[in-house]
Structure 1
Amino acid sequence: MATRGRKPTIAPAAEPEVLDAAAEQHTAQALAAVRQDATAQALAVSQHDAAVRAVAAQVGYQLPADCTDPDLIQRDISANMRRSVEACLEVGRGLTVLKQACQHGQFIARLEVLGLDRYVAARFIQAATKFSNVPMSAHLTQAIGTQSKLLEMLVLDDEQIEDLALTGQTGELSLDDVATMSVKELRAKLRDARAENKAQAELLAEKNADLDEMRAKSKLINPPPPDERRAELLQEVSTHVNTALGMLNGAVTQSFAVLADHDAIAGQDSLQIMGGYVAQLQQAILQLREMFDLPDIVGDGTPEWMRATADDADLAAAEA
């Protein structure tokens, strides 16, 4: 007798309502992820835009069409690449803002499009920075006259440039001298003016040193109270620490950034070298900590004894 085969078992179809709910949940999650990404991107764009506008305001650069787009800034620089002083300063301002507007490693590529050597661009930026806080009157602009003279005047201190702008004279250098001299003559005159300013600064420093020595002798004869002396020492320590931090956050960080930009263009890698320098800094910090048995302060940097004192004062104030 033949055995009948079993019919295959067919799984029941999922309810349409269940499928619709799962699809809706998946769609909602995808839309939420898209919105989150869009929000993060918008925040990043907003922060970048604010940083570019801050640099533009700092150097007095008028953004083209009030826009932070690097392409528009680059076109504006091209339009200003003439030899007049105002145009040179505007080029420098534009380059300063363009550098801020560019992503890491893109600034040098845009300089190549503009046909600007990076060192020439650095001089334009230096000029824009130095003259950004000086009232550029028509008299001063006409006296400088050319790009060559403008770049020569970068050797002057900020105070000397301000004196020229406000009074037309700094030391033995006048605006008439700037206007009538050749570039070579102006270079020699500026060298003399800088030497004169340096001599005056050294004389002032010598007088201040003499005064400091007199104050030191006076303190030996009549030493200040312990609390006053401690305040002076703390101020001295604070000054030295702030100077070190300024160098670290300023010159050291800037030199690392310049080296990184160069490596990005040249296809080189200096990370090991920079890491070695940072290791030296870290070692110096560790030696200070070990030398004076310093506590490892974390958080806001407030020592425990100061925190306890502040807590006691708050408690006393609350009880009062």
Structure 2
Amino acid sequence: MARTKAPATDPIDLPALNGEVLMATQNSMATAIASHTDERDLLNQLLGQAQMAESFSKFSLTVSTSKLAYVKESKLYRALSGKKNADGQQFSGTWDEFCSLLGRSRQQVDEDIANLRTLGEDALESMSRMGIGYREMRQYRRLPEDAQAALIEVAKAGDKDAFVDLAEEIIAKHAKEKAELAQRLDEVNADYDAQGEVMAKKTKELDSTKQELEKHRKRIQTATPDDVIKELRTEVVALHFEVEAKILGELREGFAKMAEHAAEHGQDHRAYQADLINQLEITLATVRSEFHLPEHQNDTPVWQTKAEA
């Protein structure tokens, strides 16, 4: 007995079905907003739509996320306050509770919303189909806007290999630039610290100088004329000793080295040295003339006299 052949059935057109479901969801959403003024009723409508969209999440991630973003931004989840779940527990009307009703965590939903706002619907849909996970999308959101724009354009084309290659290149470049910026920041901080130390040292020296000047000012105010002139003479003698030590020490040593050089190489440096001595003599004569100082005939230094002692 011949078997009768079953009539052929048309294959289910999933994209078309998905489009019809999404259109029906959007229409019901618009109808709910237009016809319900009570927030509880509107929330129930949105919750039902969001749960239905979640069942088609593989096909309509952006539709589901856009609805959830609307609920969060308009704070419609607060209408859950006072309602009870199947176990009799009362809701307090939080965003966490609303997300849990969808079987998802608040962190995951917030990630979806952030991805939608940053990457856009087309790019997010394409990335989801390519299997790009939350961790990668989180990295993309941290990139500069020009890098994000380049990734979004490649994602829209749907070429996963090209997208992954570009993403790796951009992330590596961004990491390098970030490291260079961090290094420059460290260098700037190091320079700032060094400058701070120098300024602190100078401030300390300035404070010390101010204190010394204040001490001198107070001594001058309270000192007798004899005390003042003794202090001034002490300072002048100290300067004289310093100049004399430079001449008899470092200058004389330099002249000695020049004499050795002259003996070794047959050169005469005495005229050059005489000019230096002459300049010192002129300098001293200028000071003597300025203060009308007499020629001192006593070979004994004035600071060694009995009166000065």
Higher relative contact order (CA 8 A, sep 6+): 1
TM-score by length of 1: 0.35
| Structure possessing the higher radius of gyration over alpha carbons | 2
